[in-house]
Amino acid sequence: NAGVTQTPKFRVLKTGQSMTLLCAQDMNHEYMYWYRQDPGMGLRLIHYSVGEGTTAKGEVPDGYNVSRLKKQNFLLGLESAAPSQTSVYFCASSWASGGSTDTQYFGPGTRLTVL
Amino acid sequence: DQQVKQNSPSLSVQEGRISILNCDYTNSMFDYFLWYKKYPAEGPTFLISISSIKDKNEDGRFTVFLNKSAKHLSLHIVPSQPGDSAVYFCAASAPNQFYFGTGTSLTVIP
């Protein structure tokens, strides 16, 4: 099992460019999440999905869009990148929400720099 | 508005001694708490968790304590080992709510 994988691992964008980050999981998890990690800020939830075809906003959703067309994939899109979106992005998945099913499994991260 | 706070950005401990990492939360609706460990250039990995109906959970060298009245949890590592050097995040959840703390960087000195 690969667990949770993220593509790409690194990316440099210019302000205004767009890109999509891909997350894939092979654990048949229902829930998937996108976080960003910034110095001194910890992990902040951007968007999450409770199942195929569903998405919901997290703590810091502005400037991002997501899609969950297939259960195993969760895409994070930046339509017009800004320097404030320079961050490390982590994808995670879990069985469900509530109790022990809340345990989230994380991917290795994508380091994004917006110039 | 930080709902989960880790007030110590860093902690250094001698090998073999106890490491105590602390976490405070503000939302009384949180019903599940977790600790994650993160090495550089890797994603966080699950370490240990505790339900709000318990006040202690143990797994080998790791013990998590929950004080609901104080809205405080702590992670004890004993004995500490150099391989425990990492950033530790506490997390709290309620249905469809997930919050992480800012992390504490633990250094275990051989």
Q: What is the pLDDT of residues B26-70, one digit of tens each?
A: 999 999 999 999 999 899 999 999 999 999 999 999 999 999 999
Is-contact A85 A77, C-beta < 8 A? no
B63 touches chain A (CB under 8 A): no
Tens-digit pLDDT profile for residues A44-88: 999 999 999 999 999 899 999 999 999 999 999 999 999 999 999
pLDDT confidence tier of residue B96, bands split at 50, 70 and 90 = confident
**Interface with chain B: mutation pick from A54, A91, A104, highest number of B CBs within 10 Å:** A104
Strands B10-14 and B104-109: parallel
> Could B102 and A40 be called an inter-chain contact, meaning their C-beta atoms sit closer than 8 Å?
yes
Neighbouring C-alpha atoms within 13 Å toward the C-beta of B11: 25
Specify the pLDDT at position B94.
Answer: 84
Contact A103 B46 (CB under 8 A): yes
Q: Does A42 contact B95 at a Cβ distance shorter than 8 Å?
A: no
